[in-house]
Amino acid sequence: MSEMGNLNLRHLYYFWVIAREGSIVRAAESLELTPQTLSGQLATFESVLGNALFRRANRSLQLTDFGRTVFGYADDMFQTAQALTDVLQQPPENRPLSLSVGIAASIHKLIAYHLTAPALFLAREVRLSCRTGDTTELLKRLGQRELDIVLTDREPASGEASHFRSHRLASSSMSLFAAPDLARKLSSDFPASLDRQPFLATSLDAPYISALMNWFSSQNIRVKVIAEVDDSALIKVFGREGVGYFAAPTAIHDEVCRQYQVEHVASIHEVRDTLYAVTRARGSHNAAVAELLRERPELNDKIEKSEQ
């Protein structure tokens, strides 16, 4: 092992083993060293650090406060190194795939699940990491290779097009939902019944919100925004409690009604939520990314049936 400044990684490893074993004798047996050699290596390490790592109590070694701090870092390092060794010892075709997905916060969480879940059912193990946030920030992280793919409800701006490739995944009309009492009230004489009724709006710059507001205007509906929320799941919770009505893709009609105990008011076919997957322009050899980009007739069938 090499040195990092004054930190000798071999000495750090010896210390880690001693701390785990609880004694120099047991650690020496594990490392196939003599206790005298190991004790000397520990003394050298403590001298370099300028602090004691252990104190002796009742013929046993106990970590000092400083020693516990060093052990915490060492434990993270060597546990990670062991995990990496285990992965590298597997045949390449058996190694888990790593998939880092950026999900625009304006995408409804149930839709995000339907778009992401297929990667988890590959024959090969996939270690999935999901990050939510603003599309612009997610695309920046995609360009820096911190993410493998971004799921969003808008295509990259023209200035970003040369760096990324956009893939249209699905498009669904939008529907309105509300708690049962409010839903019955709104279903009567729709859409005039929406006038001045409490509406739960997303505070995010989601394209479907602009389209929905234009539709309200075309129907001479005066929108009473009772709350602006930047989390699609929280909006549904507010809706479930009867605070107001909200919009969600028709494609997840059944899940929304079942999970949040709300009722469907109406579908608005003129307003659509279109979803895209964005990858780097040079593409990816990641099989999990390819799975997310694969055309899904079953999803399109579900959307078509929900809109009939």
What is residue 249's predicted lDDT score, i.e. its pLDDT?
93
d(CA 126, CA 124): 6
Q: What is the pLDDT of residue 2?
A: 41
C-beta of residue 152 within 8 angstroms of C-beta of residue 170: no
Q: Nearest CA to 151 among 119, 181, 175, 124?
A: 119
In tens, the pLDDT along 289-307 reads 988 888 766 666 666 666 6
β-bridge mates for residue 99, sequence order: 128
Compute the distance between CA of residue 23 and CA of residue 73 in angstroms, rounded to an integer.
20
Confidence (pLDDT) at 1: 42
Task: Determine the pLDDT at residue 213.
Answer: 94
Residues 231, 49: Cα–Cα separation, whole Å: 48
Please identify which residue in the block is written with the tokens 């990858």. 279
Per residue in 127-167, pLDDT (tens digit) is 899 999 989 899 999 988 889 999 999 888 776 666 788 99
C-alpha 108/C-alpha 93 separation (Å) is 34
What is the pTM (predicted TM-score) of this model?
0.65
Give residue 268's pLDDT: 95
DSSP line for 59-101: TEEEE-HHHHHHHHHHHHHHHHHHHHHHHHTS-GGGSPEEEEE
Residue 83 is predicted with a pLDDT of 73
Alpha helices, H only, 152-266: 180-187, 207-218, 232-240, 253-260
The pLDDT of residue 7 is above 50:
yes
User: How deeply is 189 buried, as exposed, middle or buried, from its count of CB atoms within 10 A (0-12, 13-18, 19+)?
Assistant: exposed
The C-alpha atoms of residue 277 and residue 255 are separated, in whole angstroms, by 23
**What is the Cα–Cα distance from 111 to 206, expressed in whole angstroms?**
14
Work out the average pLDDT over 115-130: 88
**Domains within the chain, CATH numbers bracketed:** 3-88 (1.10.10.10), 94-169+275-298 (3.40.190.10), 172-273 (3.40.190.10)
Give, rounded to a whole angstrom, the gap between the first and last alpha carbons of the chain: 66
Phi and psi at residue 164, in whole multiples of 5°?
A: -130, 160
Exposed/middle/buried for residue 47 (C-beta within 10 Å: 0-12, 13-18, 19+): exposed
Q: What is the pLDDT of residue 228?
A: 92
pLDDT tens-place string over residues 218-235: 999 999 999 999 888 899
Predicted pLDDT at 297: 63
Model confidence band, residue 256 (pLDDT cutoffs 50, 70, 90): very high
